[in-house]
Structure 1
Amino acid sequence: MRRRRAAHADSTPAPGRCPPEGLGAAGGVRPYCKPCNAERVRLGHYNVTKEFVHRLLEFQRGSCAICGSRNAGSKSLHIDHDHVCCPSRRSCGDCVRGLLCSGCNWIGLAWYEALPAKLRTFDVLNAYLADPPAQQLRTRLAATRGQ
């Protein structure tokens, strides 16, 4: 089962176009396989499309927007959003800032944003917060649509 999921994750079809996998909580067949459902929930949580996340990943050259790591192993990059804009569980999508490794997302940035403004002296983090990759990508996409 693990081999199938690992192979499936590399070539994930659109949700609903993969064979259902097992029974759901209510005993019926799941409408999505587990990897597709996890992706569907993740994208819905941040209110972004699969295409936008792929473009953002390409824009960031496949690496964390802060430290540049390629996130070795099977862990995917996390979608970072501004919690001041959307403090609830669901994001508006406009406040998505970039894709981060777990260390930068959970430890580095969360800790840094909790500091008083006068203690926020790390240029790399300040640059990320001031002009996040997702905003740069949105600006670039808007400019190409306007041409």
Structure 2
Amino acid sequence: MAVALLLVGLRLWVIEPLWVSSPSMEPTVPEGSIVVLYRHGEPVQGALVSFRNPSEAGTVLKRVVAVSGQSVAIEDALLYIDGVPVSEPFVDHALIDGTYFGPVTVPPGHVFVMGDNRAASIDSRDFGPLPVDSIEATVVWPLPN
């Protein structure tokens, strides 16, 4: 009985599985995968986070590419943070050739999130910087790149 209560408690307040129903994080997290989420802690740059999609129903996963105070821009499909190009080996740049965005400065209390599959992702490029308090959890398994 104690073990069952412990497992239920962990599920409700600490960890949670999530079935990924979108290709927006491929190839890092393929559609149909199951990830384990941790419900505590601050999101950091590079972390995969879950949140309620502000533009439609459901929970989604995205990568935090910038935090409060940082500038985000995309020039010819390459991500720039504070004017410096970011190495993103998990992004297929051939699929997003010629894309331009920003620059946008992330306001206090917000993060800028993007899907690794940029061509199939609705993210902060569409709905703007995401309030940190709307993030529900961070992916802890499988470990993100």
Fold shared, TM-score > 0.5 on shorter chain: no
More strand by share: 2
Q: Which bracket does the TM-score occupy, shorter chain normalised?
A: under 0.3
Query: Which structure exhibits the higher relative contact order, with contacts defined as CA atoms closer than 8 Å and separated by 6 or more residues?
Result: 2
- Greater CA radius of gyration, 1 or 2? 1
